[in-house]
């Protein structure tokens, strides 16, 4: 969705509110995907000459636990704020979003904001025990039959001496 913001930039106390549903169904992060539509409530307003972009987004995210690899769906919600300018300053523009010719492409901005905000690690629960490194059993479902401590193979010669 492209927003035409000339009226907002040129008039103080002017605002615009829209709803958007950017299509992120084809976007994957590893094996994790968006399992439903992304819904965004966007407001762009001019406060004393400063144009502010605010977006409240909500969506359902399908992910695999990074410890036990069980699949889960989770509802996520984020709020994003940006200051809009028609031309970026020469010294850089990490603090601003450029809206050249008073136009703003919201889908790409929302996609980037969401992907940057997603956690780097997804867990089914904070106390997830993960998988057994030997047999691969999900330790959240119970203990496995693997020995808790395996002898160090470098000390195998010493254990043979103790057996004699």
Asked if 142 and 106 sit in the same domain, the reply is no
State the sign of the Cα–Cα–Cα–Cα dihedral 109, 110, 114, 115. negative
Look at the chain and report how many structural domains it folds into. Answer: 2
Asked if 27 and 102 sit in the same domain, the reply is yes
108-162 pLDDT, tens digit each: 999 999 999 999 889 999 999 999 988 999 999 999 888 877 777 788 777 777 7
| pTM for the whole structure | 0.78
33-86 pLDDT, tens digit each: 998 889 999 999 998 889 999 999 999 999 999 999 999 999 999 999 999 988
Asked if 21 and 80 sit in the same domain, the reply is yes
Asked if 12 and 38 sit in the same domain, the reply is yes
Range of the domain at 136: 130-164
Helix or strand or coil: residue 82? strand
> For residues 6 and 49, what is the distance between their CA atoms, to the nearest angstrom?
13
Beta strands in the chain (DSSP E): 2-4, 15-20, 28-29, 32-34, 39-47, 50-64, 71-85, 96-98, 103-105
Asked if 163 and 105 sit in the same domain, the reply is no
Asked if 29 and 15 sit in the same domain, the reply is yes
Asked if 123 and 163 sit in the same domain, the reply is no
Asked if 135 and 75 sit in the same domain, the reply is no
Task: Using alpha carbons, select from 61, 64, 44 the residue that is nearest to residue 53.
Answer: 44
């Amino acid at each position: 969705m492209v927003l035409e913001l000339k009226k907002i930039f040129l008039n103080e106390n002017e605002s615009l509110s829209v709803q958007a549903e950017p299509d992120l169904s084809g976007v994957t992060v590893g094996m994790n995907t968006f399992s439903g539509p992304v819904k965004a409530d966007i407001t762009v307003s001019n406060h004393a000459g400063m144009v502010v972009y605010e977006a409240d987004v909500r969506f359902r995210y399908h992910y695999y636990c990074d410890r036990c690899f069980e699949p889960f769906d989770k509802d996520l919600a984020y709020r994003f704020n940006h200051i809009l300018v028609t031309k970026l300053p020469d010294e850089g523009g990490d603090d601003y979003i450029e809206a050249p010719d008073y136009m703003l492409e919201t889908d790409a901005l929302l996609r980037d904001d969401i992907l940057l905000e997603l956690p780097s690690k997804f867990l089914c629960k904070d106390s997830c025990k993960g998988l057994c490194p030997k047999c691969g059993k999900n330790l959240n479902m119970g203990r496995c039959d693997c020995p808790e401590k395996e002898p160090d193979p470098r000390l195998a010669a010493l254990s043979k001496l103790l057996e004699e």
